[in-house]
Chains A and B, each alone.
Chain A
Amino acid sequence: MLRNRRIWLALSLLVVILLLAACGGAQVEKVGEPTQAPTEAPTKAPEPTKAPAATEAPAEDQGPAKAPSGEPVKIGAVMPLSAPGSVTGGKAMQAAFEIAAEEINAAGGILGRPLELIMEDTEGLPERGAAVMEKLISQDQVVAVVGEYHSSVGLAEMEVAHDNHIPIVFAETWNDKITASRYPEVFRVAPLSSEVAQLDTDFIASLGVKKVVIMTENTDYGIPAAEKTTEKLKDRGIEAVTFSADPGTQDFSSIIERIKGESPELILVLLTGETSFNFEQQAAEAGIGPQDVAMICNQVAADSESFWKNVPDGNFCFYRQVGLPPVLWTDKTKAFAEKYTAKTGEATPPSYAMEAYDSLWVMVTAINNAGSTDPDAIIEALENISYEGALGTITFPVNSKNPPEKAGKEDKWWHQFPDFAAVFIQYQQKGQMSSDAPVVFPDKFKTADPILP
């Protein structure tokens, strides 16, 4: 009997742990709950006191920060934190949000009140993204939402935001359709898929290749991106053949044999996360790696430590980096990079971390400018914003006062951050750090010539 009881005890204990683990999906983190909140005298000072804010340096140009007090202002943040979503991307965004939230609360919060950031896992599933948005809006009553990594999920979330009239700033969803919807609530700091395809095309054409194989992801990001690139390459007289695979595919051997049969002069990898690493290393083992054929690897290659561990034969990989190249980093980018490295141990923050960081700061700045949490006021403030962030100066020039027709732009530029920078970088030595790897395109940022195998 005693033994049985002990087993049951262990069992119930494990069930509790299991439940906790299962609930881990929905992470409610009160990041940076104001550490220097006036807990000593909350009744004395209902209005934020002028008391100097602790020892932490206040953010620049915010003036002496007041400690936020009162009822917290809730903002939702969405990102994939479990498979089939890109957990690598989601975790980086999570770290960036935490950094931004801490800074915001240290700099006086929102409207003098503390920021409560509610982070939710979308698992990379559109239906889950929509459900999480409903939960954030109806249950947590957030005033705004920021984040998201996957376009397919973003497309679902944007509908919920529109139906409930809650402003949302998308961080890393590239699909043109998101801003082309022209929903008043939808803003984006990520680049446009079609514009990135243009940059890819310009780069590929500059290398003088005639036959390209595109290895893409079978998703709302990968398929349109491959189609746009193919179309644009065709205009330049470059032939492109597209292969696609589901995210999470491990074994690429049969596809690699087919790619060999196409004898490409360049391979463009639009797979993401560890799936891209799997493809790149297996291609190298089969003799069509970056050392044999010019290869544009996925941007996750920017995480050099992880890249060299997973793709040891990946020297001469090109990769596209969205966001300012290190030579053009602003003070804000440098400060963020330093905090990001301290928090995660990664040498440089990936673009989606910078975008996540900026998306939250943009939203908070807009609410502060609006002076209220009313959705219409926030949207108006976002349309008028000019915010110095890690990505550069963020503005949304095509908006309700300057609609696409008037601006002479396509619908996709609606509420879109137009000045995103993107460059091509190449690893030119085995084991090189991404901060040391030279920029090879476009010419205005170039620090070295591309090396072709």
Chain B
Amino acid sequence: MTHPSIFWYTLLWLILWGAIGALITPRVYARKDKFTHQTALLGSFIGAALGPIGLILLWIFTPQLTAKWLLGSGLIALFWLALAFAKAAPENLCVTSGSFVATQIANGLVIGSIYGLMALGLTLIFSILGIVSFAHGEFYMLGGMVTYYFTQVWFPDLSPLLGVAAAALFTFLLGALFELLFLRPMITGQIERPGEYAILVTFGLAFFLQYTTLSLVGASPKKVPRFFDYPKITVPSGTGEIIKITPGNLTFFDTISISSPRFTALIIALILLFALLYFLYKTWTGKALRAVSQDRQAAAVTGINPKRMNTLAFALGGMLAGISGASLVQVFSWVPWVGIPASSRSFVIIVLGGMGSLPGAFIGGLILGVVEALGAGCVPDPHRAAAYLPAYGMIILVLVLLLKPTGLFGREL
């Protein structure tokens, strides 16, 4: 950064007025006998976006809170921050190169959609069983391992899609089996402290799966060659092409470049997302699942078996993590401990999106993907940019927990 002071003073200004807004606004609303719900959040956003003038206007008129207010003021605050960054670091690639930023955002969205898919599984389990599965990362790892062994070792000519399907089936069955054996006693009242038990037993499963896999397959990294070699296509040919495809890379509008295995993984994630949405919203079983997540007793009254839904939810959750892993084993090198960072990222996402919220998990994944990509891409010190990768998610997480503890799409308590 050439003028770091511009950026830091702007940040300080935003935080100062944001904090003042968050502290005082609820009191103003309360004094005027208005609904104070989420006014702290609104106050902090308006304070950060428009400073003292905005806050005074807000306190005078005290408008009824709507999503538009939040979104608008949030975007303005972000704009100030970005502007300050551009003024502070005019030579930074994030400021000088639009195509760099576009590529970073595109890559963030691609990887974020797969994070989202994995987090979707975790949030599904949470919404139905009310537990956090600490073994989620191991399902992710197993998904990749099963795909590797199916397509590379046992059946070398097998289509990679069948490998993914095998991974889905394996993780689904493993999830179902585990739920039946270890989590069922929780709801039948055989466990004295079900909350603690759930944490311990899923932790145990995580270690068991990780070390069993390590002893079975060894420590050397595995990788599946990219699932599909795309044909060489340029549309339209000549200069100013819109799409340029080579076996290893896709370039859109001559600016955004995405490696082809990532693109394949994105397609798999999107297909699966739509299949899941269809299942949850259009089929009887899916509706039953959602009903149980809303109210167990009421669902049981209408003839739904909540126990069966528990098994299904845990199996589906594991399967979603498994498929995320299966689609990424062609992108990353795979080792038995690959699930550890992936699962902690899923925890961040579901808290960010709101525990138990399905759209929250997916959008949370996208947000985390983009924030990580932009953080690693724009932080001026190259030495620190990627080393801070886990921190970017944490900053977002802390902000969300401070301003909206239920998460972006969480159910209000």
Q: Chain A interface (Cβ within 8 Å of chain B)?
A: 4, 7, 10-11, 14-15, 17-18, 21-22, 24, 82-84, 87-88, 90-91, 218, 241-246, 248-255, 257-258, 261-262, 273-274, 277-278, 281-282, 284-287, 303, 306, 309-310, 312-313
Question: When each residue 76-107 of chain B gets 1 if its CB lies under 8 Å from chain A and 0 otherwise, what string results?
Answer: 00000000000000000100010010011001
20 more contacts with CB within 8 A, not counting A14-B182, A245-B386, A274-B333, are A83-B335, A87-B335, A88-B219, A244-B384, A246-B389, A249-B386, A250-B341, A253-B111, A254-B374, A254-B375, A254-B376, A274-B335, A278-B333, A281-B223, A285-B248, A285-B249, A286-B257, A287-B257, A310-B222, A310-B333
A303 close to B382 (CB less than 8 A): no
Check A261/B384 contact, CB under 8 A, given A87-B214, A274-B335.
Answer: no
Distance of B78 from chain A, by nearest CB (Å): 19
Asked whether any CB of chain A lies closer than 8 Å to the CB of B225, the reply is: yes
Asked, given contacts A82-B211, A251-B332, whether A7 binds B93 with beta carbons under 8 Å apart, the answer is: no
Task: List residues of B (96-125) whose CB comes within 8 Å of A's CBs.
Answer: 97, 100, 103-104, 107-108, 111
Taken together as a complex, chains A and B put the C-alpha atoms of A7 and B184 apart, in Å, by 10
How many whole Å from B49's CB to the nearest CB in chain A? 27
B340:A254 contact, CB within 8 angstroms: no
Whole-angstrom CA separation of A312 from B374 in the bound complex: 28
Chain A interface mostly helix, strand, loop or mixed?
Answer: helix
Do B373 and A254 have beta carbons less than 8 Å apart?
A: yes
With A249-B389, A309-B222 known as contacts, the answer to whether A21 contacts B333 (CB < 8 A) is no
Most buried by B among A245, A253, A262: A253
Task: Say if the beta carbon of B72 comes within 8 Å of chain A.
Answer: no
Query: Is B259's CB under 8 angstroms from A309's CB?
Result: no
Q: Which residues of B, 303-342, contact A by the 8 Å Cβ criterion?
A: 328, 331-338, 340-342
State A84–B52 Cα separation when bound (angstroms). 48
Q: Which residue of B lies closest to A10 (CB)?
A: B181
Residue-by-residue, is B341-355 near A (CB-CB < 8 Å gives 1, otherwise 0)?
Answer: 110000000000000
Closest to A284 in B: B248
Q: Among B219, B222, B340, which residue has its beta carbon within 8 angstroms of that of A90?
A: B219
Q: Which A residues are CB-close (under 8 A) to B190?
A: 4
Binding site for A on B (CB under 8 A): 93, 97, 100, 103-104, 107-108, 111, 181-182, 184-185, 190, 204-205, 207-208, 211-212, 214-215, 218-223, 225, 248-249, 257, 259-262, 328, 331-338, 340-342, 372-377, 382-387, 389-390
Taking each of B218, B333, B374, B384, which has the highest tally of chain A beta carbons within 10 Å of its own beta carbon? B333
Contact B219 A87 (CB under 8 A): yes
User: Across the interface, which residues of B come within 8 angstroms of A22, CB to CB?
Assistant: 204, 207, 211
How many Å lie between the Cα of A274 and that of B332 in the bound state?
9
Q: Chain A residues with Cβ under 8 A from B342's Cβ?
A: 250
Contacts of A251 in B (CB 8 A): 111, 332, 372
Residues of B near A218 (CB, < 8 A) are: 387
With A7-B185, A285-B249 known as contacts, the answer to whether A310 contacts B223 (CB < 8 A) is yes
Chain B minimum-CB-distance residue to A216: B383
Partner of A261, one of B100, B111, B249, B337: B100
Q: Do the beta carbons of A11 and B182 come within 8 Å of each other?
A: yes
Question: In the complex, A244→B386 CA distance in Å?
Answer: 6
Q: Are A88 and B389 in contact (CB under 8 A)?
A: no
Q: Which residue of A lies closest to B215 (CB)?
A: A24
The complex places the Cα of A312 from the Cα of B205 at a distance, in Å, of 34
Q: Is the CB of B259 within 8 A of A282?
A: yes
Complex CA gap A309/B220 in Å reads 10
Whether B207 contacts A258 by the Cβ 8 Å rule is: no
A-B residue pairs, 10 tightest by C-beta? A83-B337, A274-B221, A254-B376, A285-B259, A87-B219, A274-B333, A245-B386, A218-B387, A253-B107, A277-B333
Query: Are B221 and A248 interface neighbours, CB within 8 A?
Result: no
- Find chain A residues with CB under 8 A from B208 CB: 14, 17-18, 21
Report A-chain residues with C-beta under 8 Å of the C-beta of B111. 251, 253
Q: Which of A242, A278, A284, A303 contacts B332 (CB 8 A)?
A: A278
Set of chain B residues within 8 Å of A309, measured between Cβ atoms: 221-223
Among residues of B, the one whose C-beta sits closest to the C-beta of A254 is B376
**Chain A's nearest CB lies how many Å from the CB of B59?**
41
* B337 CB contacts on chain A under 8 angstroms: 82-84, 87, 248
Docked CA distance A309–B222 (Å): 7
What CA separation (Å) do A241 and B219 show in the bound complex? 32
Contact B259 A14 (CB under 8 A): no
Q: How far does the Cβ of B365 sit from chain A's closest Cβ, in whole Å?
A: 13
Q: Is the CB of B218 within 8 A of A91?
A: yes
What is the bound-complex CA distance between A286 and B248, given in angstroms?
8
Q: How far is the CA of A148 from the CA of B158 in the complex (A)?
A: 41
Shortest beta-carbon distance from B161 to chain A in Å: 20
Q: Is the CB of B382 within 8 A of A243?
A: yes
Contact between A254 and B386 (Cβ–Cβ < 8 Å)? yes
Given A274-B333, A281-B333: A254 in contact with B221 (beta carbons within 8 A) = no
A254–B259 CB distance below 8 A: no
A287 near B372: Cβ-Cβ < 8 Å? no
Most chain A CB neighbours (cut-off 10 Å) among B219, B225, B337, B385: B219
**In the bound complex, CA of A261 to CA of B376 (Å):** 13
Please indicate the chain B residues that have their CB under 8 angstroms from the CB of A244 in the complex. 383-384, 386-387
Chain A positions within 8 Å of B261 at CB level: 285
Q: Is the CB of A250 within 8 A of B219?
A: no
- B335 contacts which chain A residues (CB < 8 A)? 83, 87-88, 274
Q: B260 — which chain A residues lie within 8 A by C-beta? A: 285
For B184, list chain A residues within 8 Å (CB).
Answer: 7
Complex A-B: 6 CB contacts under 8 Å: A88-B220, A245-B387, A255-B376, A274-B335, A282-B331, A285-B259
List chain B residues, Cβ under 8 A from A261: 93, 97, 100
Give chain A nearest CB distance to B230 CB in angstroms.
12
**Residues of A contacting B223 in the complex (Cβ-Cβ under 8 angstroms):** 277, 281, 309-310
In the complex formed, the residue of A with least CB distance to B382 is: A243
Among A87, A243, A273, contact of B385 (Cβ-Cβ < 8 Å): A243
Q: Once bound together, how far apart are the Cα atoms of A24 and B207, in whole Å? A: 10
Residues of A contacting B377 in the complex (Cβ-Cβ under 8 angstroms): 254-255, 257-258
Closest-by-CB residue of B relative to A243 is B382
Q: List A contacts of B331 (CB < 8 A).
A: 282
Q: Which residues of chain A are near B219, meaning CB under 8 Å? A: 87-88, 90-91
Known: A243-B382, A254-B373. A248 touches B341 (CB 8 A): yes
Residues of B within 8 A of A312 (CB): 225
B382 A245 Cβ-Cβ under 8 A? no
| Minimum distance in angstroms from B373 CB to a CB of chain A | 4
Question: Quick one: which of A90, A254, A274, A287 has the most chain B CB within 10 A?
Answer: A254
Q: Is the CB of B372 within 8 A of A254?
A: yes
Say whether B373 contacts A253, CB under 8 Å: yes
Pick from B335, B342, B374 the residue with the most CB of A within 10 Å: B335
Report the Cα distance A300→B374, complex, angstroms: 30
Docked pose: A286 CA to B260 CA in angstroms: 10
| Complex-state Cα separation, A91 to B107, whole angstroms | 34
Q: Write the nearest CB–CB distance from B11 to chain A, whole angstroms.
A: 22
Contact present for B340 and A83 (CB under 8 Å): yes
Please state if B372 and A303 are interface contacts (CB–CB under 8 Å): no
Is the Cβ of A243 less than 8 Å from the Cβ of B386?
A: yes
A281 surroundings in chain B (CB, below 8 A): 223, 333
B220: chain A residues at CB < 8 Å are 88, 91, 303, 306
Q: Which residues of B contact A241 (CB under 8 A)?
A: 382
Report the Cα distance A10→B177, complex, angstroms: 12
Q: Given the known A-B contacts A18-B204, A285-B261, A310-B333, are A254 and B212 also in contact in the complex, defined by CB atoms under 8 Å?
A: no
Residues of A within 8 A of B93 (CB): 258, 261
Q: Contact: B383 with A242, CB < 8 Å?
A: yes
User: A249 contacts which chain B residues (CB < 8 A)?
Assistant: 341, 386, 389
A257 lies within 8 A of B332 (CB): no
Residues from chain B with Cβ under 8 Å of A258 in the complex: 93, 376-377, 382, 385
